[in-house]
Amino acid sequence: MLNIINLLISAFFVQISRGQLLVTLPKGQILGHELQTVTSRPYYAYQSIPYAAAPVGELRFQAPEEPESWTGVLDATEDSHMCYQMQYDGPEESEDCLYINVFTPVLNRENDDTKLPVIFWIYGGGLRNGAARFQDYRPDYWMDEDVILVTHNYRVGMFGFLSTGDSIIPGNNGLKDQNLALKWTYENIHLFGGDKDKITVHGQSAGAVSASYHLLIKQSAGLFRSVIAESGSPLNMYSFIENPKDYAIQLAQAINPDISSDADSEEIRDFLLSLDGKTIDNYSKATAIAQPATVIEPESPTAVVTTEMYEMFESGHFYQVPVLMGICSEEALFIATSENYPIRLGRTYDANEALVVPDIFPHDEDIDTAVIGEAVKLVYLKEEDPWAEHPGRVVRHFSDQRFARAIIKQGKLISQYAPVYFYQFSYDGDVGGWNTVVEYAEKIQHAEELYYVFLNRSLSEIDEGDALTHRRLVRMWSNFIKYENPTPEPDELLENIEWPAVSPLDYKYLNINNSLSIELNPKDPYFSKWENVFETYGRRPFSTF
């Protein structure tokens, strides 16, 4: 008899727990599950929620559409499929990948006046890789800060950014996916205890490119109140292409060599729609096809980028909200993981100085690119110095070219209209995972700060300095998410520092190292010399920088 009573009690509590974990959305019901942080705090996870219809069939290469409603209770306890991408090949990939995840430290707070702030996370991956996998972006320490974390998949690579440069395949579908996921978050986060008026769009690398794009996308205005952009900007040249149809033709010809280089957009679209998604994915990975990126679209109801990004930031035509953004001290240090690569690259530069000029550097055709290359060389070296004998300068050039220059410029441009808190991450610890040393280059490469921001281990398992750096980053980021200011009051953990907003004429930034310090003019004198190169040789309007 006692055993029966125990079973009934157990069943009762399971039923109550199940009821508490059930959330009713406008499209249907979902059932989440309870997890624990590494500090043993319980939280609640809702995974694989459809925020868009599967982008298959006629929806391939098009803007996402709302999903259909479902009947019954949707199991929301596991990761969804990831979108097709360049650097992964496995059964977890699918064209049906547009799902969103919510991690919250509270249950059933819809009617509670105390709503929690929200991170809307956008993963990086060069616009060609990445997924919102639980193992990659665990929410543990955000739960401890009473911040809700929302992650989502968006299309990348050919499926996310292919364009024919016209209305047939307009492009930027990855950004459009993000916008729909952001809209879903704004409309539904109250059901998970979140405050729709305190959403921070947060991304790293291509995710930071995307996060800042939402400052420019009119459909995203009003859906968030601040941005955190780690190591990325729409002004980064790698994130933008000028002749998108060339990429579409190249893909089609790789699959079917009989397709003409003069094929019209309808022919390309119809051919690609006739294929299964895996075929397109396989050819994207197996052949040396240049990968697409964001484009300027023709005007249409679904278009999200229709004007040069630089000009929009410069003129103030963007959603003016507070931004926390920054760089790692040597973003492109990864090119030196192969010891001789910077030297080999330097020899290439010495043989042809035009190669140090960005491919899409805007200049008049009557200006010899080699002349611009000579000016770029003087940013880093004396005229008589060969690049090959200064690998550290090669690394610095690559860092500025691919990342830092554009990010710093974005901060300067938007600081005329909205608060900008700029940082440089310079802390050299074990959690970051890299210990490459190149003379005359800094020490911290792309994405090292991310391992501290999304730490997935107990602090007792890591070095004391690493733990301190993690705590500082999470504290400042959380402060910004909650109060729109990373240092709203004196805090001993943060050495009682006051992080000032950037002024266009007084570019102060926070250097995050073993200690915290306020410094002036990031990456000078290189950055100011680059500004001079653009002013001397560049042709407006600029799209990137």
Is 407 within a domain?
yes
Is 331 among the catalytic positions? yes
Higher pLDDT, residue 4 or 519: 519
* pLDDT exceeds cutoff 70 at 482: yes
DSSP reduced 3-state for 223: coil
Catalytic residue among 48, 163, 205, 426: 205
Give 96's contacts (C-beta < 8 A, 6+ positions apart): 54, 55, 56, 81
Q: What is the pLDDT of residues 269-300, one digit of tens each?
A: 999 999 999 999 999 987 667 889 999 999 99
* Residues 356 and 491 occupy one common structural domain: yes
Q: Is residue 342 part of a domain?
A: yes
Q: For the sheet containing 323-328, what is the strand order? A: 33-36, 42-50, 99-104, 148-152, 116-122, 194-204, 226-230, 323-328, 420-425, 508-512, 516-520
- Overall domain count for the chain: 2
- Phi, psi dihedrals of residue 338, rounded to the nearest 5°: -95, 110
273, 314, 493 from 55: Cα distances, Å: 12, 35, 46
Residue 253 placed within a domain: no
Q: Give φ, ψ of 383 to 5 degrees.
A: -55, -35
Question: For 372-400, how does the pLDDT look when each residue is reduced to its tens digit (9 = 90+)?
Answer: 999 999 999 999 999 999 999 999 999 99
Q: Are residues 53 and 21 in the same domain?
A: yes
What is the three-class DSSP state of 323?
Answer: strand
Residue 151 scores a pLDDT above 60: yes
Tell whether 126 and 188 lie within a shared domain: yes
Which pLDDT does position 430 carry in this prediction? Answer: 96
DSSP 277-308: HHHHHHHHHHS-PPPP-B-PPPP-TT----S-
Does residue 80 fall inside a structural domain?
yes
Res 167 pLDDT > 60 = yes
- Which one of 259, 284, 317 terminates a domain? 317
Query: What's the mean per-residue pLDDT of the chain?
Result: 95
Separation between Cα atoms, residue 428 and residue 369, nearest integer Å: 38
Domain boundary among 317, 348, 369: 317
pLDDT of residue 112: 66
436 and 309 in one domain? no
- My answer on whether 157 and 66 are in the same domain is yes
- What residues pair up with 50 in beta bridges, in sequence order? 99
% of the chain at pLDDT higher than 70: 96
Q: Are 23 and 106 found together in one domain?
A: yes
For residue 111, what pLDDT is reported? 64
CA-based nearest residue to 169, from 234, 84, 248? 248
What is the mean pLDDT of the segment spanning 499-516?
97
Q: Indicate if 229 and 330 belong to the same structural domain.
A: no
Q: Is residue 273 part of a domain?
A: no
In a domain, 275, yes or no: no
Enumerate residues 6+ apart whose C-beta is below 8 A from 218: 304
pLDDT of residue 114: 86
The overall pTM is greater than 0.75: yes
The answer to whether residue 267 is domain-embedded is no
368-371: list long-range contacts, CB under 8 Å, 24+ apart: 371/537
Selected catalytic residue, list 308, 331, 449, 484: 331
Query: Rounded to whole angstroms, how far apart are CA atoms 150 and 349?
Result: 44
Confidence of residue 10 (pLDDT cuts 50, 70, 90): very low
In a domain, 338, yes or no: yes
Please report how the helices 244-255 and 277-286 are oriented relative to each other, as an axis angle in degrees rounded to 10.
100
Pair (352, 300) in one structural domain: no
The whole domain housing 109 covers 2-243+295-317
Amino acid identity for residue 175 in this structure: L
CATH of residue 105: 3.40.50.1820
pLDDT at 2: 34
Tell me how far apart the alpha carbons of residues 117 and 479 are, in angstroms, rounded to a whole number.
Answer: 10
In terms of domains, do 486 and 357 share one? yes
Higher pLDDT, 171 or 17: 171
- Same-domain status, 29 and 9: yes
Degrees to nearest 5, angle at CA 143 with 138 and 148 = 90
215 and 301 housed in the same domain: yes
Q: Is the dihedral of CA 120, 125, 131, 132 positive or negative?
A: negative
Which pLDDT belongs to residue 17?
A: 66
Active-site residue flag, 68: no
Rounded Cα distance between 224 and 215, Å, is 10
411 and 307 fall within a common domain: no
What is the band of 113 on the pLDDT scale with cuts at 50, 70, 90? confident
Query: Which is nearest to 297 in space by CA: 451, 165, 483, 437?
Result: 165
Instruction: Measure the CA–CA gap between 157 and 140, rounded to whole angstroms.
Output: 30
